[in-house]
């Protein structure tokens, strides 16, 4: 085979691999009710329920943070995040969670918060936080 043919096959194979990995890593948006029906990773959009408890105790476990979120369809669920509590979390106006349901809790691997900007009253500030990976 010619070198150009081999190079072309390699380029096509890499392009197919990139497309497949992008498609596989993308997840869909759902509600907590829909998340309970599947085991796959989903995005849930909602807002923090400020009437319920936020639990974070850095002295006991700095990588455990739990709180309650009400999704856009009105369903409420306890969320567990294995990472530190994001700064200004209580100020968030909207939260996008990436994760999956484990029993009756949503275990988030990422939190994307939209908060009012500290500097401009009319603008929103976006912050993304990822969960810590456990060293085993």
* 23, part of any domain: no
* 33, part of any domain: yes
Per residue in 50-106, pLDDT (tens digit) is 888 889 888 888 889 999 999 988 889 999 998 888 888 888 888 999 999 988 899
Please report the pLDDT score of residue 28 as a whole number.
Answer: 83
CATH classification of the domain holding 91: 2.40.50.1010
Q: Kind and range of the H or E element at 7?
A: helix 3-25
Which pTM value belongs to this model?
0.67
Per residue in 113-131, pLDDT (tens digit) is 887 666 555 555 566 666 6
Q: What is the DSSP string of 12-41?
A: HHHHHHHHHHHHHH--EEE-HHHHHT--S-
Domain count, the chain: 1
* 12, part of any domain: no
Distance between CA atoms of residues 46 and 44, nearest Å: 7
Mean pLDDT (whole number) for 5-28: 75
Please report the pLDDT score of residue 136 as a whole number.
Answer: 44
Beta strand pairing status for 28-30 and 42-48? parallel
Question: Percent of the chain beyond pLDDT 70?
Answer: 79
48: containing domain: 28-130
Task: Give the number of C-alpha atoms closer than 13 A to the C-alpha of residue 34, restricted to the C-beta side.
Answer: 15
């Amino acid at each position: 085979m010619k070198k150009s043919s081999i190079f072309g096959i390699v380029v096509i194979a890499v392009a197919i691999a990139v497309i497949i990995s992008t498609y596989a890593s993308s997840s869909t948006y759902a509600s907590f009710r829909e998340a309970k029906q599947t085991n796959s990773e989903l995005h849930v959009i909602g807002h923090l329920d400020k009437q319920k408890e936020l639990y974070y105790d850095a002295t006991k476990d700095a990588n455990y943070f739990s709180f309650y979120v009400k999704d856009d369809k009105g369903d409420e669920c306890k969320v567990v995040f294995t990472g530190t509590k994001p700064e200004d979390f209580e100020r968030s106006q909207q939260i996008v969670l990436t994760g999956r349901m484990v029993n009756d809790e949503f275990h988030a691997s990422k939190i994307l918060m939209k908060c009012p900007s500290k500097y401009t009253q009319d603008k929103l500030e976006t912050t993304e936080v990822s969960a810590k990976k456990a060293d085993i």
